[in-house]
Amino acid sequence: MEFSVNPKIFQLFPDLRLGVLVSSGIKNHGEKKEIENLLRKAESEIRLRLDLETVKDNPLISNWRAAYKDLKVKDGRPSHEALIRRVLKGGQLPHINNLVDIYNYLSLRYMTPFGGEDLDKINGNIQLRFAQGTEEFIELGSSELTHPNPDEVIYSDEEKVLCRKFNWRESDLTKLTEGTKEAFFVTEALPPINEDILHKALEEFSNYLTSYCDAEVRIFILDKSRMEIQW
């Protein structure tokens, strides 16, 4: 299988790095108290660091707001900002499944987007590219068929959209469930997230997948000098 990035995306965002984990042999059943504790700790730290009035000015939020503005995204927020705002409003992130709980924790801890797809539900190769506007998309938690806007940045396979507006909304068709055995995870890192921080986040992610889900994990990083990976 292959994951590739349209070169124009790196022309627009030359400092963008994509951290990818490909995981197999996953055991995603049940609920781990250790993961719940990680989430609660991350929520507490977010409430100490940020508040709703000034969250938009934090460099790890404003960087993605600027990216969305450059892409002319007028509605929707990057996924990590949506999670952070939910926490700052007093909410507690619910248990979804262990895989999702882990990457939600990492989204809060590193204040950068994380997402994942079930590889058994992917048709063909994965691309990060610009939409034509005719592609099919069913939003997480919905059954309604919609379409991305022309020139919107999307993740897609050969049949459908996997995630819209970089990291705004994931597809219901490829969501991670307790039955997921193989998964593709990605985090998009813009400055001030540097290479060292990205490596640290990916290693932490890999360790949790191994420890809590008995998974085998491969780590990749894509940037303007490496726009394609295979596994």
pTM over 0.95: yes
Concatenated DSSP letters for the chain?
Answer: -EEEE-HHHHHH-TT-EEEEEEEES----S--HHHHHHHHHHHHHHHHH--TTTGGGSHHHHHHHHHHHHTT--S---HHHHHHHHHHTT--PPP--HHHHHHHHHHHHHTS-EEEEEGGG--S-EEEEE--S---EEBTT---EE-PPTT-EEEE-SSSEEEETTTTEEBSTT---TT--SEEEEEEE-TTS-HHHHHHHHHHHHHHHHHHH--EEEEEEEBTTB-EEE-
Q: In CATH, what number is assigned to the domain containing residue 181? A: 3.50.40.10
Domain range enclosing 97: 2-230
Predicted confidence pLDDT, tens digits, the chain (231 residues): 999 999 999 999 999 999 999 999 999 999 999 999 999 999 999 999 999 999 999 999 999 999 999 999 988 899 999 999 999 999 899 999 999 999 999 999 999 999 999 999 999 999 999 999 999 999 999 999 999 999 999 999 999 999 999 999 999 999 999 999 999 999 999 999 999 999 999 999 999 999 999 999 999 999 999 999 999
Give the chain's domain count: 1
